[in-house]
Chains A and B, each alone.
Chain A
């Protein structure tokens, strides 16, 4: 099984630890992973700002980098959703269509493709899960609170396999954190208020860490927590799932 590792631009630059954890975790689970070195970004920042028409060269580069893999896996639900919904090519639409069907966010790849039932991971902390909206309402990684349907959660299923980890609850299980791409700049006041309220929900329910399949949400909340000198930390879900049981 050949996997192309897609590390979104801001993860590559700002959160290399999460990317390394993703790579190591996939390798630990027996996958053959390679990282196409000429990758940059999925184009979402432009598209969500109304400039989808400027994303063609990003798309072409993406197709060039990620053609020929059995699966493409990324530690970012939002970027994966963007590729699934919007990757097109003027020159090779067949290749773009193929990629849209082969790209997975890490959590769903572990639960739906590798179908893992146990993990050798240890993380003795209280952890709150932040459901990223794109992971939740776009990729359906868990049941959505608005819909009348069966309860399930792919991230919680995986975290349940980690020894020592205690999941904390939330009063509002899946409210948006307010990051929203350039929304966090253009609507700074509302964005920060939304982030603060999510953090308060986690802290009052006793979380030591906030985790998520999306680092963009976590980066936003980390920025607010750091400014307010909060002791609560953020951690990408890959880093928890990859945490060694020996070190602990």
Chain B
């Protein structure tokens, strides 16, 4: 979905239905609470976060070596390895693998990377049908809408709306909205997909350099269903998904599902290493801006992200504006620090869609200083000229006023005089503050003026 509206405008639209905002906010807050309970029940939770962050620091600092090691081990295991610098290259590689085998239908488990690459559209344009097998992504695909959340792709949809979609596209009876019954219908459709698809693509949660295996975490087992029944198995991964050794999974698997949804571990944490007899395995290592990010010291820590979505669930702005308002595959606080690296102009609004409250940083299982990065992206965006001229003008005026005690005193006096004598000059529809808020009661004198008269008596 290409949108020309920015986050603030899309969020304003979302907020027109307050009851819906409350429902959305409540659903995600419930998940945040589950995460808190899981964290509190885990011994040494904060030490685990520290360990995960340190392991990922090591990975980022030695990425080249680990990638080469991973590639060597993949090859030893009989997996075919590809390197893609961008979305186009990635999509071409997938297409060429399928074309060689004359495959025209593929099943795909959840992969934000392929969403970012718009793989489905690319393949569909070339006559290859792709079906998303993660239930949330399946629903989003039926509705022709991108995911609004990286872990919970259709969290913004109510069960009645999903029932309506199923009625329209899958022929269920009108008004059916029971989640269990709807899931059964989807499962029936998907089972047929799993049985008939010759190719399956999965994402990668963790790629173990030491062994050349990769781990895919799902709750639905859909990645496994696809992979086990396919003759061609493809995995797409961003360069940053590497972990050095298998033992490090003991840290990351404990953190991932707890941070994501307050669950001790995902139902399936499947290790893929070697192709079965008669099966082919392909793995595509995708850069797509990762190495640019690595070259930005202030921002490279965002490569530590394990895509748990905890920052989204805790973010009050995300909860009250919805993932689609971020007009980017990865939404929420983490999306707002990853997106400007890819296209600063198009995503110049996202680092400003935050109050810098810092809750995201505190829940992050790999301790990315998300809110500090939001602050730093704001500085970059302004310096490179992606800020409105109007804003720059008012900021310069503010800086001038605040750097001169005399102008500041006059401006303060003028402001207070206006509030007292001509409140309409401030309280009007051109002032966004005033739309739903009043100004504070005006005071006759500032503290500075009071102090000049009374300070010495104290």
Contacts and interface: CB of A to CB of B under 8 A. Distances in A.
Interface of A: 7, 9, 11-17, 19-20, 23-24, 27, 34-35, 37-41, 43, 45-55, 57-58, 60-61, 133, 137-138, 144-149, 172, 175-176, 178-181, 183-195, 197, 219-220, 222-224, 226-227
A193 B355 CA distance: 13
Contact of A187 (B8, B39, B361, B387): B8
Contact of A176 (B12, B316, B404): B316
Interface stretch (B56-64, B115-123, B376-384): B376-384
A186 B356 CA distance: 14
B458 to A, nearest CB: 6
B272 interface: no
B152 to A, nearest CB: 19
B437 interface: yes
Contacts of A57: 399, 402-403
Given A15-B440, A48-B378, A146-B363, A9 B402 contact: yes
B224 interface: no
B416 A13 contact: yes
A35 B449 CA distance: 11
B451 A35 contact: yes
Contacts of A148: 39-40, 42, 45-46
B15 A35 contact: no
Given A58-B399, A137-B359, A183-B355, A27 B458 contact: yes
B173 interface: no
B387 A50 contact: yes
A245 B65 CA distance: 69
Contact of A40 (B11, B383, B402): B402
Given A9-B408, A186-B352, A227 B437 contact: yes
B288 interface: no
B8 A189 contact: yes
B458 A23 contact: yes
Interface stretch (B99-107, B192-200, B226-234, B428-436): B428-436
Interface string B387-404: 100011001101101111
A205 to B, nearest CB: 16
A20 B450 contact: yes
A62 to B, nearest CB: 10
A60 B405 CA distance: 12
B23 interface: no
Contacts of A185: 432-433
Contacts of A41: 402, 408
A48 B375 contact: yes
Contacts of B42: 148
Interface residues of B, number: 74
Contact of A54 (B7, B395, B433, B439): B395
Q: 8 closest A-B pairs (Cβ-Cβ)?
A: A180-B355, A223-B437, A57-B403, A50-B378, A50-B382, A146-B362, A137-B358, A176-B357
Contacts of B375: 47-48
Contacts of B401: 40
A40 B404 CA distance: 8
B316 A61 contact: no
A43 B402 contact: yes
Contacts of B18: 193
A58 B436 contact: no
A193 B383 contact: no
Contacts of A220: 437
Contacts of B380: 50
Given A11-B447, A54-B396, A186 B40 contact: no
B399 A55 contact: yes
Contact of B355 (A46, A133, A144, A197): A133
B355 to A, nearest CB: 3
B78 interface: no
19 contacts: A7-B448, A9-B412, A12-B446, A16-B445, A16-B446, A20-B450, A34-B455, A40-B403, A46-B402, A47-B375, A48-B378, A55-B399, A146-B314, A146-B359, A183-B352, A192-B437, A193-B21, A194-B316, A195-B437
B329 interface: no
Contacts of A27: 458
A197 B36 contact: no
Contacts of A39: 405
A197 B433 contact: no
B29 interface: yes
Contacts of B73: none
A169 to B, nearest CB: 16
Contacts of A193: 15, 18, 21, 320
> Which of A11, A14, A188, A190 has the largest count of B CB atoms less than 10 A from its CB?
A190
Contacts of B320: 190, 193-194, 197
B60 to A, nearest CB: 24
